């Protein structure tokens, strides 16, 4: 199903909507195109080009929600890159080519010591670094984090998966 990225008037991503919803917003003149890419929808008499990114004419006030924590979300947020050694799927480690399955979620403050499943306490790590760090903090293990874990916005994960190129300018991915 073709979908459209809906932006607020401020260009902040709001939602991923169906082309039908997009068409109704266009017909009501609530939105303007925010990219050149379009999905072509064929009706009986004509073709409607629907831009893959639309922007609301009027600003809507949306309270910020943080995305719900989940394991795969952490891996996607960190693009399957080990926060300790920087290796990614496709990189070599001990003669083995890493795949997504080799990446795990590391608890910065270990679970065994009360560390929680939160965006701020979890980060992507290769199995080897995760094992090496074990039940220690990065400081105790003398391992340095390459970046600070961030809490993604709710729309971040809605759009994860296959992302149309035209959306990328507006999403933190
Ligand atoms: Zn690693």
Residue 69 CA to ligand 1 center (angstroms) comes to: 22
Q: How confident is the model at residue 114 (pLDDT cuts 50, 70, 90)?
A: very high
Q: What pLDDT is recorded for position 129?
A: 97
Q: Using the CB atoms, write b or e for 74-97: b if 16+ within 10 Å.
A: bbbbbebbbbbbebbeeeeeeeee
CA distance 55 to 51: 10
Residue 130 CA to ligand 1 center (angstroms) comes to: 7
Q: Looking at the structure, give the CATH architecture of the domain made up of residues 71-141.
A: Orthogonal Bundle (1.10)
Q: How confident is the model at residue 16 (pLDDT cuts 50, 70, 90)?
A: confident
Residue 117 CA to ligand 1 center (angstroms) comes to: 20
Q: What pLDDT is recorded for position 149?
A: 93
The larger pLDDT score, comparing residue 162 to residue 77, is at: 77
Residue 83 CA to ligand 1 center (angstroms) comes to: 7
- Residue ranges per domain, the chain? 3-64+154-170, 71-141
The tens digit of pLDDT for each residue in 146-155 reads: 999 988 765 5
Q: What pLDDT is recorded for position 68?
A: 82
DSSP state of 148: -
pTM: 0.57
DSSP state of 78: T
The tens digit of pLDDT for each residue in 126-150 reads: 999 999 999 999 999 999 999 999 8
Q: Which residues surround ligand 1, an ion (CB under 5 A)?
A: 82, 84-85, 126, 129
Residue 103 CA to ligand 1 center (angstroms) comes to: 8
Look at 7-21, 79-93, 119-133, 156-170 and tell me which has the smallest mean pLDDT. 156-170
Residue 76 CA to ligand 1 center (angstroms) comes to: 16
Residue 67 CA to ligand 1 center (angstroms) comes to: 25
pLDDT higher than threshold 50 for residue 105: yes
Pairing type for strands 13-18 and 3-7 reads: antiparallel
Give strand ranges (E) for the chain.
3-7, 13-18, 31-33, 38-42, 47-51, 53-56, 92-93, 96-97, 103-107, 122-126
Contact 138, 130 (CB under 8 A): no
Q: How confident is the model at residue 169 (pLDDT cuts 50, 70, 90)?
A: confident
Q: How confident is the model at residue 43 (pLDDT cuts 50, 70, 90)?
A: confident
């Amino acid at each position: 199903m073709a979908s459209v990225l809906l932006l607020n008037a401020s260009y902040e991503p709001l939602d991923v909507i169906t082309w039908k919803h997009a068409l109704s917003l266009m017909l009501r003149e609530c939105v303007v195109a925010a990219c050149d890419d379009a999905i072509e929808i064929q009706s009986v008499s004509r073709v409607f080009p629907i831009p893959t990114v639309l922007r609301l004419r009027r600003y809507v006030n949306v309270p910020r929600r943080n995305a719900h924590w989940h394991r795969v979300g952490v891996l996607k947020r960190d693009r399957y890159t080990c926060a300790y050694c920087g290796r990614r799927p496709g990189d070599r480690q001990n003669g083995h080519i890493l795949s997504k399955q080799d990446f795990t979620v590391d608890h910065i403050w270990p679970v065994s010591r009360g560390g929680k499943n939160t965006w701020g306490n979890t980060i992507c790590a290769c199995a080897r670094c995760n094992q090496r760090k074990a039940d220690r903090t990065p400081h105790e293990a003398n391992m340095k984090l390459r970046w600070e874990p961030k809490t993604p916005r709710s729309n971040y994960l809605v759009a994860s998966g296959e992302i149309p190129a035209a959306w990328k300018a507006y999403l933190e991915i």
